[in-house]
Amino acid sequence: MGVAWWVWFLVAFVALAAGALFLMRDRARLTSRNRERRRWASLRGWQFAETDHVLPGQWSGGAIAYYGDGVARDVVAGSTFTADGRRKVYVFDLEAGGRVNTVISAVQCKRAHPVVVELWVPSTPFQREHMPELLGPVGQRYAFVSDIAAARTLITPDLVDATEDLGQDVAVAWIEDGWVLAASAPNSSPSRLERLLRSLGEIADVVDPFDAEVEQPGEIEASRGNGGDE
């Protein structure tokens, strides 16, 4: 005997209702996160944008390589002070494949480094098709680098100490071009992201100290003649 038509109707209705509930729950969660991120940016005097399709494409290592560059959602842009001075920062949700996989925090350096250094926690399934070379343990993390010789000069005891404050909820932190970046959990709160930005600022100060380039006397005089710093 076949199944009555109303049974199939009931099954379809239940499935539709369950899907709608999941969609409403996800939408409420995303809206809440949007409001929270927007409020945080306002309190800090930073800029906020709901979507940026270009920003993730600035980088190709770390979590960007693992998940794909995707789309930046709930983007916060501003600057913060570190021990060496003010640095530009970004925070955004990385959406790839239709879902938010991680939160990216980035702190800018003054100069670009010729090597990409990825620092992964051992518990993360970080393998991907084209992994950089394994350098070895760096503190509690494993370093994968684009150039082993160049990376050895960058990885110092001070850098190791600075990475210890990142936290195990940060799957990967990496140095790429003129930035220090990290990937944290999708539900990371503004207070957690504030702490993470401070840790990234400490790493930036180690690999990119502002006093590394000392002006020569002639350069100082030329600067004064041009009115100095703006």
* pLDDT per residue as tens digits for the range 73-87: 999 999 999 888 899
Residue 209 reports pLDDT greater than 70: yes
Question: Which structure tokens are listed for 148?
Answer: 């082993």
Q: How many domains does the chain have?
A: 1
Query: How does pLDDT run across 25-52, given as a tens digit for each residue?
Result: 444 445 777 899 999 999 999 999 999 9
Nearest to 103 by CA among 64, 147, 53, 149: 64
Instruction: Identify whether 19 is part of a domain.
Output: no
128 within a domain of the structure (yes/no) = yes
Q: What is the pTM of this model?
A: 0.78
Is residue 14, in this structure, part of any structural domain at all?
no
Question: Residue 107 domain-assigned?
Answer: yes
> Does residue 161 sit within a domain?
yes
pLDDT band at 129 (very low <50, low <70, confident <90, very high): confident
Is the residue at 12 inside a domain? Answer: no
Residue 109: which domain range? 46-210
In a domain, 1, yes or no: no
**Residue 2 belongs to some domain of the structure:** no
